[in-house]
Every structure is written in C-alpha cells, then in structure tokens.
Amino acid sequence: AQKITQTQPGMFVQEKEAVTLDCTYDTSDQSYGLFWYKQPSSGEMIFLIYQGSYDEQNATEGRYSLNFQKARKSANLVISASQLGDSAMYFCAMRVNYGGSQGNLIFGKGTKLSVKP
Amino acid sequence: NAGVMQNPRHLVRRRGQEARLRCSPMKGHSHVYWYRQLPEEGLKFMVYLQKENIIDESGMPKERFSAEFPKEGPSILRIQQVVRGDSAAYFCASSRGRDYEQYFGPGTRLTVT
C-alpha cells in the first residue's frame, strides 16, 4: 500500500540555521512523484518543491532542496537559512501512477516547524 | 488573482442541512482534485475530476457526498444531510494534467453545529 511517513510531529530551529524535515515513502510503483507543501497558520497549502522518481538530480527551489535517496525511499526537505516566516506545517506527499486511477496525492501527517528568533 | 479560488472560505451548517463547496481552477487547468483535512491530520484524497467527468472517486464516502465539474462553471462538492463528523477543511487543487503539479485553493472550512 502507498504510504507517506513523517516521523517528526514538531521541530524547532534557530533563525538563519538549516533544518531537515524527514519523509519516507512506501510504494511498489516505479513511477511516482514526491512533493512538499507548506501550510502556514492561515491555512492555505503552498507548493514548495517536486521530485520525480526518475530524476537523477536532487530538486532545488531557492532555499528549499529535496534530499532524495531512492534506495532508502526517503525524500527529506532541507530548508537553508531559516526565517521566521518559515514557521508552519510542512506536508510531504506522493503521487503514484497505477491503473486508471492516477494523479491524486497521498499526504503524510505533517511536521510543525517553529523558527526561533 | 489567477490562482485556484474556493468559496465560501467558511461555511457553517446545522446537522441535516446541505453544504455546497465551489472551486474554480487556475486558468488553463482542466483537472480538479478535492481533498479533506481533518484537525491535526494531513489531507486525504476524495475525488478527481476533469470537465464533465469523474475520473476517480475512490476517496469519496459512499453516501451523502457527490462532486461535479460541469462544462461551464466551477467544480462543486456537495454534502447532503451534514453530520458533525463532516466538520473539516476541504481543499480543491487544480493542475494542467495528471502528471503536473497540483496547486491548491485556500480551502473551505466547514463547521457543522
């Protein structure tokens, strides 16, 4: 069964430091995509970064990078130079392609990141 | 604003009433997904639609819930005879296609009293 696991319910980081949010996934499918979303206290879901299962390079978007380790089935999010505005819930999600039911995302339970000044 | 639009942002219904949630996808997007987020939980997939077609409704409860995406107008998620357990945030996402990024709307927070 497809599953996303985020083992850190809450994380603290000092402003300007880097932080890694863990995500492991489970799928038997060879073709899949991994996503990270940010949900601030206002509630909207903000797309951060995407990694395809066949991408050889780790994805990067500004201060966000995805540490993709396919053999370990992990897709950790690294945020460099944390800012106070990074305080939010972070969700890891996976999209698998199988049969005729394709495209929906499977989400983890999230990690609440708090950035300390 | 060219983003995904959802309305209303907040909806209060009494038990037994109907709730209608609307979603207008981003311009150029013809694929719509609905997700539900219970308190302290991640999002759970409900239904995937393209214009005039339901592609995958495997996450929809079998009773009281329905969704449509007509040729003209927004996608609608309808919940009939709401119960307290339906209280949640309902998110709509749109994409250009199955293999593209999904962009989320701001969500509708449904409260059933």
Q: Which residues of chain A have pLDDT under 70?
A: 97-102
Mutation site, A102, A104, A109, interface B, largest B CB count within 10 A:
A104
Interface check A75 vs B, CB under 8 A = no
b/e per residue A48-77 (b: at least 16 CB within 10 A)? bbbbebeeeeebeeeebbbbbeeeeebbbb
- Give contacts of B10 with chain A, Cβ < 8 Å: none
Distance from CA of B74 to the nearest CA of A (A): 19
pLDDT at B106 over 90: yes
Nearest to A99 by CA among B56, B68, B44, B66: B56
What pLDDT digit, counting tens, does each position of B54-80 carry? 988 989 999 999 999 999 999 999 999
Mean pLDDT of B27-46: 91
Q: What is the structure's pLDDT at A98? A: 58
pLDDT of residue A99: 53
Mean pLDDT of B2-20: 95
Those of residues 29-58 in A touching chain B at CB distance below 8 A are 33, 35, 37, 43-47, 50
Torsion over CA: B77, B5, B90, A6 (sign):
positive
Place of tokens 């199955």: B98
- Which residues are CB-neighbours of A97 under 8 A, at least 6 positions away? A29, A31, A32, B98, B99
User: Shortest CB distance from A104 goes to which of B45, B101, B104?
Assistant: B45
Chain A closest-CA separation from residue B4 CA (Å): 11
% of chain B at pLDDT higher than 70: 99
pLDDT of residue B82: 98
Q: Do B106 and A44 touch (CB under 8 A)?
A: yes
Average pLDDT score, chain B: 93
Cα–Cα separations (whole angstroms), residue A107 to A18, A110, B12, B15: 24, 8, 26, 29
Q: Which of A73, A79, A94 is nearest to A11 (CA)?
A: A79
